[in-house]
Protein backbone atom coordinates (compact mmCIF):
# COMPACT_ATOMS: atom_id res chain seq x y z
CA UNK A 1 0.00 0.00 0.00
CA UNK A 2 1.14 3.63 -0.33
CA UNK A 3 2.80 5.08 2.77
CA UNK A 4 0.15 7.80 2.71
CA UNK A 5 -2.40 5.19 3.84
CA UNK A 6 -0.44 4.09 6.92
CA UNK A 7 -1.79 5.13 10.31
CA UNK A 8 0.05 7.12 12.94
CA UNK A 9 2.19 4.73 14.99
CA UNK A 10 2.14 2.09 12.27
CA UNK A 11 5.49 0.48 11.36
CA UNK A 12 5.97 -0.66 7.78
CA UNK A 13 8.71 -1.93 5.52
CA UNK A 14 9.59 -0.03 2.37
CA UNK A 15 8.88 -2.13 -0.71
CA UNK A 16 9.65 0.28 -3.53
CA UNK A 17 8.95 3.62 -5.20
CA UNK A 18 6.52 4.73 -7.87
CA UNK A 19 8.32 7.93 -8.80
CA UNK A 20 10.96 9.37 -11.12
CA UNK A 21 14.60 8.36 -10.84
CA UNK A 22 15.57 11.78 -9.47
CA UNK A 23 13.05 11.62 -6.66
CA UNK A 24 13.83 7.99 -5.96
CA UNK A 25 17.55 8.66 -5.50
CA UNK A 26 16.82 11.64 -3.27
CA UNK A 27 14.72 9.38 -1.08
CA UNK A 28 17.41 6.70 -1.09
CA UNK A 29 20.08 9.22 -0.13
CA UNK A 30 17.95 10.24 2.85
CA UNK A 31 17.64 6.67 4.06
CA UNK A 32 14.52 5.36 2.34
CA UNK A 33 15.98 2.06 1.23
CA UNK A 34 13.78 -0.84 0.07
CA UNK A 35 13.65 -3.29 2.98
CA UNK A 36 14.18 -0.68 5.70
CA UNK A 37 11.65 -0.06 8.45
CA UNK A 38 9.59 3.16 8.48
CA UNK A 39 7.22 4.39 11.19
CA UNK A 40 4.58 7.10 10.78
CA UNK A 41 4.89 9.45 13.75
CA UNK A 42 2.58 12.32 12.88
CA UNK A 43 0.35 13.68 10.17
CA UNK A 44 -1.07 17.18 9.62
CA UNK A 45 -3.33 17.66 6.59
CA UNK A 46 -1.63 14.82 4.76
CA UNK A 47 1.96 15.90 5.43
CA UNK A 48 3.75 13.14 7.35
CA UNK A 49 6.54 12.93 9.88
CA UNK A 50 8.16 9.50 9.64
CA UNK A 51 10.98 7.78 11.47
CA UNK A 52 13.58 5.95 9.39
CA UNK A 53 16.36 4.57 11.57
CA UNK A 54 17.26 7.39 13.94
CA UNK A 55 16.12 10.13 11.54
CA UNK A 56 12.84 12.01 11.57
CA UNK A 57 11.78 13.20 8.14
CA UNK A 58 8.93 15.29 6.79
CA UNK A 59 7.22 14.04 3.64
CA UNK A 60 4.45 15.72 1.71
CA UNK A 61 1.33 13.68 0.98
CA UNK A 62 2.14 13.47 -2.73
CA UNK A 63 5.48 11.84 -2.05
CA UNK A 64 3.97 9.56 0.57
CA UNK A 65 1.65 8.13 -2.08
CA UNK A 66 4.68 7.24 -4.22
CA UNK A 67 6.35 5.13 -1.55
CA UNK A 68 5.05 1.55 -1.47
CA UNK A 69 5.16 -0.22 1.90
CA UNK A 70 4.04 -3.50 3.44
Partner 1 sequence: MVMGEKKVTVALVGNPNAGKTTIFNNLTGARQHVGNYPGVTVEKKEGYRKFNDKEFFIVDLPGTYSLTAYSLEEVITRNFIVNDKPEMVIDIVDTSNLERNLYLTVQLLELERPAILALNMIDVANSTGLKIDDSKLSKYLGGISVIRTNGVGNEGMENLLESISKTNNNRNFSSFRLNYGKEIEAAIQNLEPLLTPLYKNIQFPTRWLALKLLENDTDIIESVQGLEGAQQALQMSNELRRELLRELGEDVEVFIAGQRYQFVGKVYQHAVDSRNVNAETISDKIDKFLTNRVFGLPIFFALMWLVFNLVFTLGAIPSDMIDAGFGAFGSYLDGIISDGPLKSLIVDGVVGGVGSVLVFIPSILLLFLAIAILEDTGYMARAAFIMDRVMRRFGLHGKSFIPLLLGFGCSATAMMGTRTLENPRDRIITMLVSPLMSCSAKLPVYTILIAAFFEEKIAGNVLFSIYLLGIILAMIMAWVFRTTLFEGESEPFVMELPPYRVPTFKSVLIHMWERSTLYLKKAGTIILAASILMWFLTTYPKDIEYAKDYDGLLAMAEEAYSEQVVKEVLLPLSIEELSENAKVATLVDVIQQEEESFLEQTKELEESSSEYSVLMAAKEQKKQQLEKENTEVYSYAEKYITLTQSLEENKANIGNEKSGENLEKSYAGQFGKAIEPAIRPLGFDWRIGISLVSGVTAKEVVVSTMGTIYSIGDGNENASSMTKALQKDEHMNPLVAYALMIFVLIYSPCLAALAVMKRETNSWKWPAVSFVYSTTLAWIVTFLIYQGGKLLGFGS
Positions that interact with partner 1 (CB under 8 A): 19, 21-31, 33-36, 41-47, 49, 52-63, 66
Sign for the pseudo-dihedral over CA of 41, 31, 55, 59: negative
Q: How far is the CB of 2 from partner 1 (least distance, A)?
A: 14
Q: How far is the CB of 1 from partner 1 (least distance, A)?
A: 19
Q: What is the CA radius of gyration of the chain?
A: 11
Q: How far is the CB of 6 from partner 1 (least distance, A)?
A: 15
- Per-residue buried b or exposed e for 6-23, using 16+ beta carbons within 10 Å of the residue's own CB: beeeeebebeebebeeee
Whichever of 2 and 49 has its CB closer to partner 1, that residue is: 49
Amino acid sequence: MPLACAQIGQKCTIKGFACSCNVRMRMVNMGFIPGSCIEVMNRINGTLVVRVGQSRLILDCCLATQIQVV
